[in-house]
Amino acid sequence: MVTTTTRAGERRAVRAPVKPRPGRIERNRQWWGWVFLAPFAVVFLVLLVAPLAYAFWMSLRTSTLAAGESFTGLANYQRAFTDPLFLQGLGRVCLFVVVMVPIQLGVALLAALVLDTLTTRLSRFSRLMIFVPYAVPAMIGALMWGFLYSPRFGPATDLFGLVGATAPDFLAPGTVFGSLVNIVTWQWSGYYMIILYAALRGIDPSLYEAARIDGASGRQIALRIKVPMISAALVMVVVFSLIGTLQFFTEPSILRNVAAGSIPVHYTPNMYAHGLAFSYQQFNYAATISFALGVIVFAFSYLFLFLTRKRSGLNS
């Protein structure tokens, strides 16, 4: 999963000219690597490996009022994968991935490509304004959009009134999906845009010169040179967006405060797990849901990276 090209290159650079076989002092010195790694490794073990292992252990046990806690093997997983509430939530976040990831990526890529061709004051200003939502907590973002969607507070009634139409109810069961997609797009597209924009800035402009001399149009340069050149950044953006979307929690739970009828407590797997743990004290089952979700997210992103390894420059 690591680029062998750099690795190999770096190794050759370090080893070949100076010392082909490191001596004992040299080998001892390399142990300093672990010394530098140690503080992070401790945090990693205590706050990532231990909770994961503990979640797995918890998921193998079931606690009942009568018998206390007992080992039940994979029974919790059997329950989870036949639990319509969990499966519905899982299906919903998968649908969010299918809809939301392409929209975010599209907005971010289009904005980055346009910004890359301009050096005006307006374009610099736009870049900042598109990015600003990243500095706003997701909770506040969802809160603001909740107000804007609301028929009591929001401008929708007025705006639609201008053209003589009635505003749709953005918080109805049928429309809340789209409303959530909009919130997340608003929140994250700017961040992804900055990543893609910086990658575009890293391309050697002499490539464009060459293409232009050969008669390529601006659009051809964008689609056939720029997009392929930043494919590594594109893959990274998709992975970030994929991981974030599958863990969907903040936006639906905040919007739920103003649209309880449209967003049930088990709307996403994370909301379901949180509810199970803190409303029903079912910590074992909640750990099962968390662990299952973690495995699914990991598998999805790994699969995606594997499928795009040629594009992203990830050599296995």
Partner 1 sequence: MSLQTTGGAAGAPPSEQTVRRPRRPGRGADGPDHDARGPRGSRLGSHLFLLALVLYFITPLWWLVVGSTKSNSGLFASSSSPLWFADDFAFVDNVQQLWTYQGGIYFTWLGNSFFYALAAGVGATILALFAGYGFAKYRFRGRNAAFALLLGSVMVPLTALVIPTFVLLAEMDLVNTRWAVILPSLLSPLGVYLVRVYTQDVVPDEMLDAARVDGAGELRLFFQVALPLLRPAIVTVLLLTVVATWNNYFLALTMVRSPELLPITVGLAQWQALSSGGAGGETLWNLVVTGAFLSIIPLVVAFLALQRYWQGGLALGAIK
**80 vs 196, which CB is nearer to partner 1?**
196
What are the C-alpha distances in Å from 172 to residues 86, 181, 184, 188, 239?
22, 14, 18, 24, 30
3-state secondary structure of 64: strand
Considering the complex, what minimum distance in angstroms separates the CB of residue 77 from partner 1?
A: 15
* Residues that contact partner 1, how many (by CB under 8 A): 137
Q: Are the C-beta atoms of residues 309 and 2 closer than 8 Å to each other? A: no
**142 vs 177, which CB is nearer to partner 1?**
142
The tokens for 22 are 């490191």
Kindly state whether residue 265 participates in binding partner 1, applying the rule CB under 8 A: no
Q: Within positions 165 to 204, which residues make up the interface with partner 1, using CB under 8 A?
A: 186, 190-191, 194-199, 202
**66 vs 219, which CB is nearer to partner 1?**
219
CA angle in degrees (0–180, nearest 5) for 246-255-134: 65
Q: Within positions 87 to 126, which residues make up the interface with partner 1, using CB under 8 A?
A: 107, 110-111, 114-115, 117-120, 122-123, 125-126
**76 vs 250, which CB is nearer to partner 1?**
250
Which span sits near partner 1 by CB under 8 A: 64-72, 84-92, 173-181, 303-311? 303-311
Among 63, 72, 175, 220, binds partner 1 (CB under 8 A): 220
Q: Within positions 243 to 262, which residues make up the interface with partner 1, using CB under 8 A?
A: 243, 246-247, 249-250, 253-254, 257-258
Q: Are the C-beta atoms of residues 139 and 264 closer than 8 Å to each other? A: no
b or e along 191-211 (b: 16 or more beta carbons within 10 Å of the residue's beta carbon)? bbbbbbbebbeeeeeeebeeb
- Under 8 Å CB-to-CB from 253, ≥6 apart: which residues? 263, 271, 274
**Contact string 30-69 vs partner 1 (x = CB under 8 A):** xxxxxxxxxxxx-xx--xx-xxx-xx--x-----------
